[in-house]
Each structure stands twice: as structure tokens, then as C-alpha cells.
Amino acid sequence: MSTAPLTGRRALVTGGSRGIGAEIVRRLTADGAAVAFTYSASGTNAEKLVAEVTANGAKVVAIQADAADPSQNASAVDRAVAELGGLDVVVNNAAVAHFDVIGDYPPEQFDRMVAINIGGMFWTTRSAIKHLSEGARIINIGSSNADRVPGPGVSVYAMTKGAVSSFTRGLARELGPSGITVNNVQPGPVDTNMNPDKGDFAESLKQITALGRYGHTGDVAALVSFLAGPESGYITGAHLNVDGGFTV
């Protein structure tokens, strides 16, 4: 019997209680990793996910942390290391979105989106670095909106995801000599509760996507699992679109 590709790997997934994050947790554990994930307010979802994954015999730990708070990000990393016995993979997935034209953009929404989408990634990574060694992986979940903005109201969100892209490039250079890879996965239209594949908005996105349909959370999780594994060791600083041709 072949060994699961992530056996022995220990991963932290931020924002892992629902949507793409939850599917990443499912896939990493299915592929053999022990996983800790953070959540902010979705306690019920977190409990359900833990019950589901542990029923399959996997090791999973839920950690409540506000991704906008640097100290909570640091504490989440420390707890993940303590619970898992170390850390090999960091998946910076926690993010929020608010869409509005620039003249009407609420300042509080701007501050929180920057604090989570950029700050959460930075503070989690900064805290995790001291626990990572050669062969470790950092995987940032960005967005194809960093490369293509299909209409008005998306500029601020796209700005934060552009920062994910730039941070990935710089960090790949910084950590390359230590044998740590850093990559950016950029989902396009993916069917989640927050972005369902039905309705007028979804139809408008399908029309500008090469495959003419939404993707599934599993499409993103499969790529994340590959990047977390042993066969991706020569991929770093990459920006990998999982968008059905949204950006072509």
C-alpha cells in the first residue's frame, strides 16, 4: 500500500472553517497531513469540520483567532506548533471581501480588509518562520482579481490580492536559501456559499471564463495539496491560477 503523500507533514490553514479553507483542510488531512486551522466567528462550522475530519482518523485542531489581530495570529501559530509538534506547511487563506466603488467605500471595511487580507498573511508568516526548516512550504491564497478586474467595485479587493502576489515574490527570494518554497494560488470564480455559481452575477462571470463555468473548492485544494507535498520542491515564487481561464 502506498503512503499518503503528506504523511508526517504538519500544516496550519488560516480561515479554515468554511469554503475554500475547509476544503483545503479536508484535502490535506486526506493526503496524510496533521492540520490545525483557524476560524474567527464560525464556531459551529469549525466544530462540524473537526468532527468530520477526525471521524476519518485524521489529526485536526481548530483554533479561534481574529486574522486582523497580530497577537492572535502569533498565538495561533504557537498553539498549532504545540498541538502538532512542529510546523511544515503554512496556508495563508483567511480573507474577507467587500465590493464598492471607491467614492462610496466605507473606511471601516477598507481597514478590516487590509488588516486581514494583507496583515493576517504577514503576521502569520512572520510568526511561523522560526518554526520552519528546509523543505517547508508557504502557500498564499490570492485571487485572479490581482491580474484581472472584471468590473467596477473590485479595486480595493484587487489591491489586497495584488499585495499577496508581491509578498509571495519577495518572500520566495528571501527564504529560498533556506530551502523553503513560497507560492501564490489564485482562485477565480469558485462555487462557495459566499460566491454561489447561480444568479445574474455568476452568469456574467461565466461568460468571461474560458471554460464557461465556476470551479469547485476541490480544484483549489488539490493544487494546495500538491504544493504542500514532496513533488513541488522546485516551484517557488509562482502565481498559479485556478480560474477556468478567467484571466486568459
Cell numbers representing residue 138 in the block: 508557504
- Cβ-Cβ contacts under 8 Å for 27 (sequence gap 6 or more): 218, 221, 222, 224, 225
Place of cell 498549532: 80
CA distance 94 to 190: 16
Q: What amino acid occupies position 2?
A: S
Structural Rg of the chain based on CA atoms: 17
DSSP conformation letters of 104-142: G--HHHHHHHIIIIIIIHHHHHHHHGGG--TT-EEEEE-
Catalytic residue among 105, 157, 214, 234: 157
Distances (CA, A) of 4 to 1, 30, 88, 218: 9, 8, 16, 17
Length of the chain in terms of residues written: 248
Is 157 one of the annotated active-site residues of the chain?
yes
Picking from 43, 81, 48, the residue whose alpha carbon sits closest to that of residue 64 is 43
For strands 137-141 and 181-187, give the pairing. parallel
CA distance 15 to 56: 21
Catalytic residues: 157
